[in-house]
Structure 1
């Protein structure tokens, strides 16, 4: 009887702990509950997004996933992305929001300080693309000169709005490195020019009328219809310091709707565009 009583008491205490603490999950997400297997949502088929998710910023990947799920884009490009963070965001999008994405990486840096891991096995850092449709023909390159930190671009072919689209994702050199960015834009623009229909996502670290962005403006228009490479253009800021650094450049298609949403999870805003590919 004594042994049975102790087992009952231990069981009761375990239940009480679960009630107080909640189910466990990675990254401290104790309140997240997985959706039923059948609760799969469809992404908005003609919606693309770009987001510099800020690193290192020590913020919740559960929260990042929730911000993305509110818009359910077909394609999203991340910059300043650690592979481990992207894996968790992708997991939470599926488990908590029913959104299933494929992933491709364009990492250019192995950095223990930014992305954790062990000094002899650091995490990978750079860009990533999530797409609700499969991706093919992944390509990517590190720019010959990254400036103060290695930088590069990646590209994939996927489906947006029912059409095959080449999607580029990039992160250019940091501010006050105009000459470096000019060389990087030259490399990127030469690749984009090969495609009649392309979306170029990224953090360009330059305002719209910066001279180094001229080759991109010659090839494509920004999804923000009021934004042009002119000091008088009505470009909506995309950063906490009220500058437009983040772009959705469109080649061979036009925007239907555009929005910029500030977020507590990054110093860059989340930029979204719905596209007309007809």
Structure 2
């Protein structure tokens, strides 16, 4: 009889709970990183894809956004498919978003491409190569114009769907193009769900042109960063220009810039590594 009363009391408590309280799963931990890989060329000006892959692996990231990524681009990266090779070496899904896609040097060869990319240990459900206003480095006479190279993937991570973006904002001292790119970025990211934008912004945290980002997103390093977060130049960083920016749905746990031999030699930037938790669904 006592067992029956206990069982009935337990059932009554469970019935009294809301469905969300009964079934809400815990958030999904995720480690993300952003890394301007300088086409696989290190601080010694030597192209070494083994070293680049090792530097990425060292971060332990589940999802990595890459900038300055080559696919058969030119002799600096030996005309190799850098993004594809990194994905294969690291056992990660790869998506490449070319900014430039040019005719090959010789007929029958792959197109020469350069842009941003995302590598993911988890399946990629969707991929989009968005346009932002850019000044072309291949046609100096051309003015600002819409060009691709703003990568978006939807990562399916253990029941969570996460929108991850890889961006590379304009590098020139004048901020006008970056300001336009920021406005366009916010329009593209104006949606629901967990969003993480990773990239080389070419601007320091107090730069006015990136200030609008912080009205819609949070600077992960400002939330939970350890150290000063500086990433460039690689040997003795003086500037914080590489970022993880997250939507309100993303809980930032830690953020850091690695201080290892690989991080200090494998590119001209250091990576930024961020641990987050994202909701299911």
- TM superposition score normalised by structure 1: 0.72
Paired residues, what number? 220
- Whether the 8 Å contact between 2:38 and 2:68 is mirrored in structure 1 is yes
Q: Which residue of 2 aligns with 1:23?
A: none
Uncovered stretches (5+) of structure 2, i.e. residues with no partner: 1-27, 72-80, 139-146
Is contact 1:80-1:126 (8 Å) kept?
Answer: yes
Is it true that 1:59 corresponds to 2:50 in the alignment? no
Higher relative contact order (CA 8 A, sep 6+): 2
- Matched residue, 2:78: none
Structure 1 equivalent of residue 277 of structure 2: 276
Query: What root-mean-square deviation, in Å, do the aligned CA atoms of Structure 1 and Structure 2 show?
Result: 2.5
8 A contact 2:125–2:156 mirrored in 1: no
61-70 vs 159-168, which moves further: 159-168
Structural mapping, 1:1-278, within 5 Å: 46-55=30-39, 57=41, 58-83=46-71, 84-93=81-90, 100-110=91-101, 118=105, 121=109, 122-146=111-135, 148=137, 152-160=149-157, 162-225=159-222, 235-240=228-233, 241-251=237-247, 252-261=249-258, 262-278=263-279
Q: Describe the SS at the equivalent of 1:143.
A: strand
Deviation at 1:153, TM superposition (A): 0.7
Residue 191 of structure 1: how far off its partner (Å): 1.3
Give the distance between the partners of 2:102 and 2:163, measured in 1 at CA: 29
Residue matched to 1:7: none
Distance 1:105 1:45 in 2: 25
Secondary structure of 2:264's aligned partner: coil
C-alpha separation in 2, matches of 1:156 and 1:131:
9
For structure 1, the 5+ residue unaligned runs are 1-43, 94-99, 229-233
SS of the residue corresponding to residue 35 of structure 2 reads strand
For residues 255 and 246 of structure 2, what CA distance do their matches in structure 1 show?
12
Alpha-carbon distance in 1 for matches of 2:228, 2:130 = 29
SS of 2:32's equivalent? strand
Paired with 1:59 and 1:111, the residues of 2 have a C-alpha distance of: 22
Deviation at 1:226, TM superposition (A): 5.6
Deviations 1:19-63 (A, max 9, x none): xxxxxxxxxxxxxxxxxxxxxxxxx96100100001373421111
TM-score scaled by structure 2? 0.71
Cα deviation for residue 266 of structure 1 reads: 0.8
Q: Is the 8 A contact 1:161 1:277 kept in 2?
A: no
Q: 1:159 to 1:136 in 2, by over 3 A?
A: closer
